Amino acid sequence: MNDSSLEPKSSPVKWIFLIVGLLAVACLVVTVGGASFFFGQASVNSSPVVETVTVTEYVEVTRVVEVEAAVETAVPIPPTDAPPTPTPLPVMMPAETAVSGPDAIQNLDLSTFYEAWSIIGQQFNGEMPAQEDLLHAIVGGSVETLGDPYTRYVEPDIAARFREDMGGSVEGIGAFVRENEEGFIEIVRPIDGQPADLVGIQAGDLIIGVDGESVVGQNIDEVLLKVRGPQGSVVVLNIFRDGEDELEFTVTRTRFEIPIIETQMATPEIGYVRLAEFNANAEERVREAVSDLMAQGAQSIIFDLRDNPGGFLDQSVGIADLFLPEGVVLYERNNKGEEQTFTAVSGDEAESIPMVVLINAGSASASEIVAGALRDNGRSLLIGETTFGKGSVQQLHTLSDGSELRVTVARWYTPANVSISDSGITPDIEVPSPDDFTLGGEGDTQLQRAIEFLQNGQ
């Protein structure tokens, strides 16, 4: 874009081509959006993420187009006679809209836009935005008119950090966050032993200011960019905590490795696996972890998906398949009436081992796919709290300038043909989270209830 592109005499066709050109796809990824992010900045030349096997940034469910003293007898698990017979899938007809398809851009009259910015250019008493900032605002603002929180535009610098985070060690405060229903940036959980945890930041805290600037009303991408930073630098966070006055924490950022998977023997006969996200290697890592635990004598498995915001769709299907002998994993369909069924096939060593799955409000997207598939097929009991409720699929486009556009392209349904959007998945045994505890550690009453169930069958 050049300076004349904002002049009133410029042809609207230029803007049309600029916008359409910006939406050109460089690569594609289909995502079932996640809910949580890491507050960390990836090192450009960092080594691969270390997936630890010891006693959870941003991720979303993605189908690549480029697109967690027992008896030794079998433990009773909910009926497993046969996978449920799903009800017929209703056809979703395209919704009627004022404009649709290419006409939404091709028939757009931009004369009012040029008129408004001509007046601004002549009369505004202040600094004019850079051309690229204005273009990002145009695309981002127009995407927001769709009213879908998961269809969004991510500016190039933020998108670059997201991509780097998937393959390197992270520099930041070390916390999982999400944008809650009220639009506040909420701490889902500080990572154990990392800066946010060490200064006393807690799950449920709301970030309302960064370095003296209010971030109320800003989206998660904007706040993420402000909180992250290089190792050794300092960030001041203003925190709202229910029942207390506004708190202020000074946090020194550090470099840390993201523990993608954590395992331990919860008892001599019960193995414990916690998966932090469904990254590109999640299925392989879970398979190795379960195999290792079974080799150590595990007679049953606790699979912990708490605070897991999602990831690649193919990984969620693969992990469900690891535990399912056969059956439907999920249905996916769009408003054109197109449907796709993802299924499991037999042949994995973990298909019959007794298990339970732990879930909570931070379990979203791919986590909900796996939890729903295992329960609906009668394979596992769910223990914990109702999940986040993320039942849509996004296709991720990397645009020509490095920015990203995520577009909701379909909805997914559990094997029982149930949509979890907004309502989430309710556990079979509800156990509230304690106010202050470490996942997988002392005081984890949800984990203790899972152990109790596997030991006693109730």
Active site members: 365, 376, 390
> Containing H/E element for 447?
helix 445-456
Q: Are 326 and 313 in contact (CB under 8 A)?
A: no
Other C-beta atoms lying within 10 Å of the C-beta of residue 369: 31
Residue matched to tokens 């197109």: 338
Residue 277, exposed/middle/buried by CB under 10 A (0-12, 13-18, 19+)?
Answer: buried
- Alpha-carbon distance of 304 to 301, in angstroms, equals 10
Residue 325, exposed/middle/buried by CB under 10 A (0-12, 13-18, 19+)?
Answer: middle
Which tokens belong to 375? 């329960």
> Containing H/E element for 125?
none
DSSP string, 385-444: S------EEEEEEE-TTS-EEEEEEEEEE-TTS---TTT----SEE-PPPSS--TTSTT-
Closest among 207, 156, 145 to 178, alpha carbons compared: 207
- Alpha-carbon distance of 374 to 323, in angstroms, equals 8
- Alpha-carbon distance of 122 to 229, in angstroms, equals 38
Report strand pairing: 300-304 vs 355-359: parallel
Q: Are 255 and 236 in contact (CB under 8 A)?
A: no
DSSP string, 183-204: S-EEEEEEPTTSHHHHHT--TT
Which tokens belong to 204? 């449920």
